[in-house]
Structure 1
């Protein structure tokens, strides 16, 4: 039986034993989405150890970075932390290495409060994969953000959302011969960001960061340049 069938049979009251019985048949993404439920139901240590091992070292398709980071933020129990951090390290292999110098501007203004962590995690993953990338925040200030050893460590280096520094100010202060500009902001500031960033073919204004954007950035640039396979 699949886990939805078991959940329906139990009328939604999944116990620790029930989760343990179906955990191995779940996809990695499904397990990530239900780590909180595992804790709430009292999943036993043996099953939890298997879930951790699969996340950290499993040979099946690795979940994407933002998907893992969402689970990392949402799960209060520390027993999953090491496995999620290892899974994040492995998932970074799915993030492209961007050629040339890349300026990544991350909006940390008050309007980004509900999206701040997602934008910061996306930017952190890009910066960790591209050594020549420069990571900068704007909102409370316009300033570089130190890229740490991992996505969580880099996200923690960002300032608390607030302030009113704009993307135009950030571009004026930090743009200096870069080959590409990526702006993470909210929909209301997208038009302003597009006007501020004048790099035809190599500018990306992202208002809803998701794992699909990692592969999309190089594809969009190839399409704009009309290079193969387009």
Structure 2
């Protein structure tokens, strides 16, 4: 039997779970009444951060309760473990690709450290700067701070935002993000934080003045004469309405739009009408990969011709485009559920590229996918219709397909093998999963474990009550739990060969393979361990 090699103390810190001390929590329970364990605060925060979208309602917790738990954990750990917490927030925004959670977390980090009057660890200013990576985010962070902590914005927040502004504010960013729909315009941010232009960017002073004029004197705001992007954009806006469509669909239309910084959203408003197939054909070369994915149904409604469809499909399926998009795998699954059949092959290929870091595990692997009601109730965000159950099925299927030999099982009140063939498309296998009620994890483990080399569980961990211990797997056999929801109660204890991970990121995919190959399973960012 293959046994995982020794795992460092840092790796155990990533996954440890501990019973809650004290008489009131001597026998903690899951939300369904099963025996549970409560994680060390860093582990709890990590799983909550990667499994939660801010203000998201879930089956067992309200959005407000989850938000309060998240900010309370960040506030506590910002003081107790500042280097670790700063590393988490940076990682969340970068590799984790969790925008709002990192911004809300940075605000909580600063607020808690100012209240505690501590300067230990990474500076408040540097943490604010690090999480702001898109030009609309300085305004979003300031709006959140004022709504949550009041209109008195402290200097570390202002200075961190000013640092980010110098990095992020460009002419193209101004056109894309400085719109009337934003609560904080670029001019509002500049007024509040008093950011000085970057000396290495001689054009930025004029851009800042233009942003202030756009906000406070829009009737007389004129683009800097030496800014080719803003000048070209102004010229397009001044084009008579009846001439605009010809500018887009005529020769060089795509290049003209790109030079003027026009996005597909801005073109839709500028043309003052619906976008037909010819306009979409002109727009497609300047659209990003996620814009293409979002508009598949619009392409179909407009009757996009086959040649253009092939170009779009080729870009969606291109591995470099997929890498550049930095999207979670469930985005492609959601698109597949709503798009016409002609996009299926491209979306399957994109999903396959997105899952490329799922390791090819040797030996025999048991993969258990939670299909309980709570997994179906919870979606990944308020704007998504994709359930955690479907995301779990994608993840589990990908593991099974890449393993040397795997038994793929769905479980709830009951459990059953999910048939698949080597090399079969992931999306085809998903059609064989079902909704299975409650979460009887122990029964599924007892029924399907047959001396496998490892077990992978994809679940929210909220198991039903049992008459005996919930872990019937021999202690020398690695059991990897992927917690997709970030609830506080854990379904099993810590210990050698017991590991819990969160989220569906590239880092999460790699963890089981890294541990079994003898590498450290430490936190996926540098800093305090």
- TM-score, normalised on structure 1? 0.77
> Cα 1:224–1:60, aligned 2, differ >3 Å: closer, same or farther?
closer
Whether 1:136 aligns to 2:414 is no
Shift of 1:90: 4.8
Whether 1:24 aligns to 2:285 is yes
Whether 1:223 aligns to 2:487 is no
Deviations along 1:127-186, whole A, 9 cap, x unmatched?
11113222111125222111231112211122x203335111111122233333221223
> Cα 1:7–1:100, aligned 2, differ >3 Å: closer, same or farther?
farther
CA distance in 2, matches of 1:189, 1:207: 14
Larger CA Rg, structure 1 vs 2:
2
User: Counterpart of 2:294?
Assistant: 33
Written as runs of structure 1 = structure 2, the 5 A alignment for 1:1-230 is 1-10=262-271, 13-56=274-317, 58=318, 60-62=320-322, 65-75=329-339, 77-113=340-376, 114-148=387-421, 149-158=424-433, 160-164=434-438, 166-186=440-460, 188-189=462-463, 196=471, 202-208=479-485, 210-212=504-506, 213-219=508-514, 222-224=519-521
Contact 2:457–2:481 under 8 Å retained in 1: yes
Q: Judge which range, 2-11 or 172-181, deviates more.
A: 2-11
SS at match of 1:214: helix
CA distance in 2, matches of 1:12, 1:178: 60
**Which structure's relative contact order is higher, taking Cα pairs within 8 Å and 6+ residues apart?**
2
Name the Cα RMSD after superposition: 3.5
CA distance in 1, matches of 2:311, 2:289: 12
Shift of 1:18: 3.2
Shift of 1:43: 2.9
Shift of 1:28: 2.6
Contact 2:368–2:409 under 8 Å retained in 1: yes
- TM-score, normalised on structure 2? 0.37
SS at match of 1:118: helix
Q: Judge which range, 17-26 or 200-209, deviates more.
A: 200-209
Shift of 1:24: 2.1
Structure 1 segments (4+ residues) deviating >6 Å = none
SS at match of 1:62: helix
Unaligned 5+ runs, structure 2: 1-261, 377-386, 486-502
Deviations along 1:74-131, whole A, 9 cap, x unmatched?
21x1221233234445555443212343221111223322432221111111111113
CA distance in 1, matches of 2:263, 2:511: 33
Paired positions, count: 224
